[in-house]
Amino acid sequence: MTADHLDGNALAGPLAELFAVDVTAATGRCASCGLAGPIAALHVYGPEPGLVGRCPGCEEVVLRLVRGPGSAWLDLRGALSLRVTLPSDGKTR
Q: Which residues bind other proteins (CB under 8 A)?
A: 1, 4-5, 43, 45-46, 48-50, 52, 54, 59-61, 64-66, 68-69, 71-73, 75
Q: What is the CA radius of gyration of the chain?
A: 13
3-state secondary structure of 66: strand
| C-beta closer to other proteins: residue 16 or 58 | 58
Q: How far apart are CA 7 and CA 42, in angstroms?
A: 6
| C-beta closer to other proteins: residue 13 or 68 | 68
DSSP 1: -
- Smallest gap, in angstroms, from Cβ of residue 52 to other proteins? 5
